[in-house]
Structures are given as structure tokens and as C-alpha cells.
Amino acid sequence: MTHTPIFKGIATALITPMHADGSVDYEAFGRLIDWQIECGIDALVIAGTTGEGSTLTDEEHREVIRYSVERAAHRVPIIAGTGSNDTAYACDLTRFSAEVGADAMLVVTPYYNKATQKGLVTMFNAIADASDKPIIAYNVPSRTGCAIAPATYAELAKNDKIVAIKEANGDISAIVETAALVGDKMDIYSGNDDQIVPVLSMGGLGCISVLSNVLPRETKQICELFWQGDYKGAAALQCKYLPLIKALFSEVNPIPVKAAMAKMGFCSPAIRLPLTEMEEAHAEILYARMREAGLDV
């Protein structure tokens, strides 16, 4: 290993609670941060996809990062979502996040305008050079229309500040190829809750998780069982929670997880357009899967 991992285990891709009028509910946000840490989560990702970073204003985006750093108070690493399809903005937000104390940055590939592989290398290097904090490259082509090729990861690994990957391409073969190319230069985290055990089996260090908003202890236990050598137990938990994972993605993330957290009493289900609150029929299935997973809702 050529660097210290940002975290090992489960990082929750945290929702951003909002009031009914759409403003950020910092009281609920603070309670949620505290609860996640009390449940033993290994890190928190702030203002990523699940945190509705794309519809936060610039002022809100910066404030939720600053607030999270202060609230966490070094109890767990705070990973700030600072990616954008505007590289100059991403660099500026990365600099700000480093200045207020974020431990690392999660940087998604550009969306809509997309990029060539050469453009991706140039963009990630520019953002990495904007601060002294480590970068996690986030690959989610189903949302962005832009995929990071395994050979491109090998090129990014030459920058000693680009130290990890959140891989949500759903392609296990590509993940295997990436692992072979980057070796110990980049840590690999699953970006999909239904692939935690497969990614761990390839030497991955954990998952940046939506499921752990709802089940932080249980999601972390999947990793712990695996690292204890109980591979069957880890696989059994992966399978046990698969119906809930599917329900959490039955509508566009973070619609279902916000509905789930509201049902658990953490926040309102308010969400910003173009996303809308969960359809009732889907919500009833989600609540049933939550109960099957052991939640009292």
C-alpha cells in the first residue's frame, strides 16, 4: 500500500434532510450525523448524489460540507462531494472543502458535456491539484453517460493524490481489470450496495453505501464478516438485504431512501425537483421490505 486508506468498511452516502419548503433541515442533519457515527459507520459522504448535491445552491453546498465537518468533529472522515461538469467550479469547491477540514473529496465524472478519456485524466488531475486532500474518483455511467475505462484508472493512479475509486459501473469484469491494473495504488470501493461482497473479494476496502442510511450497523457487518473469514456469512447478509436494496432503487435515488428515513422519523420526505416524493405504491413495497429487514416501521 502506497498510501493510508481514507476509510475501510462502510461510508454512508448521506441524505440531506430538508424542510417541507425545501430548505436544508440542519437540526435533522445533525441528529442524523450523530446517529450514523454512534452506529459505528466508518465515514460519511456529504453532498454526493444521495445528498442531492446537484440541486443544492453553491452556498448550501458549501454550508452542508462545513457543517458536517464541524458536527463530526473528527469522529469519522468527512468526504465532500465536489465533482461537477464544470472543472473550474469543482476545483474551487475542492479548495473550499479542504480549507474547512474535509478529509477527502468524492469527484464524479462530468455529466451532460461528458469527456473523452484524455479529458477525464486532465480533469481529475486538475481537481487533485486544487488541494492537498485525497481524491476518490467516482464512476457512475448510468447517471453521467461518461465511463472511466480501466486503462484510464491506471493513468490516474500516477497522481499520488488520486487514491481511490467509487465504482458504480455494475460491471464486475471491468472492476477485475481495474484491480489488476492499479494494484495497491488505488483503493476500490463498491458504489453499489448489491455488489459489496463481490468487490471485497477483489481486494476492495468497502462500500460507499445508500443502504447504510437505513441500516448502518448491518451494512457494516457485511464487511466485518468477510474480513473475519466468514465469507458465507457475508454473502448471506448481502442476499438477505437484497430485496431492501432493490426497493431503495425502485425509483431514482435518493427518492426511496428519503422516504425510508422519513418513515423512520429522521426527517421529512421533502426532496428537490426534478425529483419528487415517492409514489405511494412503491413506498408501500419499500416499507414492507424495511420491515422484512427488521426495521420497526
Model confidence pLDDT, tens digit, residues 36-77: 999 999 999 999 999 999 999 999 999 999 999 999 999 999
**Whole-number Cα distances in Å, 33 to 10, 12, 103, 166:** 14, 10, 16, 21
Average pLDDT, the chain: 97
Cα separation of 49 and 58, whole Å? 15
- 54: CATH: 3.20.20.70
Number of compact structural domains in the chain: 1
pLDDT-derived band of residue 183, with 50, 70 and 90 as boundaries?
A: very high
The answer to whether position 171 is within a domain reads: yes
169 and 145 Cβ atoms separated by less than 8 Å = no
The answer to whether position 257 is within a domain reads: no
The answer to whether position 239 is within a domain reads: no
pTM (2 d.p.) = 0.97
Instruction: Give the mean model confidence (pLDDT) for residues 180-208.
Output: 97
Domain range for 114: 9-228
pLDDT beyond 90 at 1? no
The answer to whether position 240 is within a domain reads: no
pLDDT-derived band of residue 169, with 50, 70 and 90 as boundaries?
A: very high
The answer to whether position 104 is within a domain reads: yes
Scanning the structure block, which residue is given the C-alpha cell 461482497? 197
The answer to whether position 131 is within a domain reads: yes
Residues designated catalytic? 138, 166
The answer to whether position 272 is within a domain reads: no
